Amino acid sequence: MFQNSRTTLRRNITRIGAGAGVALATALALPGTASAHVSIQPGTVEGGEGAVIAVRVPNERDDASTTRLRLVLPADNPIGSVRTTELPGWKATTATRKLAQPIDVFGRKVDTVVSQVTWTATDGVGIRPGQYKDFNLSLGPLPESGHLVFTALQTYSGGETVSWNEVSADKTVEPEHPAPVLEITPQAAPTAAPGATGATTANTASTAPAGASDTSGTASLALSGAALAVSLFAATLAWRRGRAATPLAAAPGAAPPVEATSSEPAAEDARP
């Protein structure tokens, strides 16, 4: 009976371990699946001027290649300058649209902007299963801040087209086919110009806590006083030792020292 209990316990532990392994494998697989979508790289740039971004396209099919990508630019934020670059094995084309009101593009007014860019594979291969590709774009000028929402249409060699155009109202929930988004932050404050180091140092010194400066000055004064006292004491001691060990030299031109003599005559001279 005891042996049967041990066997049953071993089986239960084995089943629990297998179930935990499956759960762990599923949890590890979910982030990779969720992140395999068309995105903008980098996801955040500074606003106000131009930027170079990449539309990153992963292939999500095991039995087909991605042969075409169409990127639709945001209609509510027209971008005056859109440029592609050469990509081996792909051909890039653009479509334009007319604006109701001209916009300023780096100092000049334009009323026609690029509305979409399409990349088509010309090598008969495209993006193979398990691979991805970056499609570079130069955009500008960008808004000062906010975000740009794009729509991407990914076409596979089997004829299937997937639309990446969904935006979730709940930021914590990612839709099945999220739209590529470019976040735009305000430009950073300008740094100090060369030669302004002194002003920066002065400002830093003036903002230091008063207590810290007072304490530092008092400590320095106390140390200086102690050092001076030790120096005077050492000098006095050395002077006294030198005076006791070495007789004073005679001044130049002085008479030699005279030996002391008695005023009384010697005893043998006093006899008649």
Confidence of residue 220 (pLDDT cuts 50, 70, 90): low
CA–CA dist 180, 151 (Å, integer): 7
Which ranges of 84-159 does DSSP label H, i.e. alpha helix? none
Across residues 137-145, what is the average pLDDT?
95
CB atoms within 10 A of CB 58: 16
- Would you place residue 205 in the very low, low, confident or very high pLDDT band (cuts 50, 70, 90)? very low
With 70 as the cut, is the pLDDT of residue 213 above it? no
Tokens of 148: 């740009």
Confidence of residue 141 (pLDDT cuts 50, 70, 90): very high
* 206 or 100, greater pLDDT: 100
Q: In the prediction, which pLDDT does 5 show?
A: 54
Return the residue matching tokens 């000055």. Answer: 217
Contact 153, 117 (CB under 8 A): no
Q: Are 117 and 88 spatial neighbours (Cβ–Cβ below 8 Å)?
A: no
The pLDDT tens digits for 172-200 are 898 999 999 999 999 887 776 665 554 44
Q: What is the pLDDT of residue 24?
A: 42
Task: For 244-267, give the DSSP string.
Answer: HHSPPPPPTTPPPPPPP--SSPPT
Q: Alpha carbon of 29 to those of 35, 185, 216: distances in Å?
A: 10, 32, 60
Per the CB < 8 A criterion, the answer to whether 120 and 68 are in contact is yes
Whether residue 118 has pLDDT greater than 90 = yes
Please tell me which residue, 13 or 73, carries the higher pLDDT value. Answer: 73
Superfamily of 37-175 according to CATH:
Uncharacterised protein YcnI-like PF07987, DUF1775 (2.60.40.2230)
Instruction: Find, among 144, 167, 146, 153, the residue nearest to 73 by Cα.
Output: 153
Q: For residue range 4-36, what is the model confidence (pLDDT) as tens digits?
A: 555 555 555 555 444 444 444 443 444 333 458
Alpha carbons 146 and 44: distance in angstroms, whole number = 10
Higher pLDDT, 94 or 246: 94
Share of the chain above pLDDT 70, in %: 57
- For residues 11 and 260, the model is more confident at 11
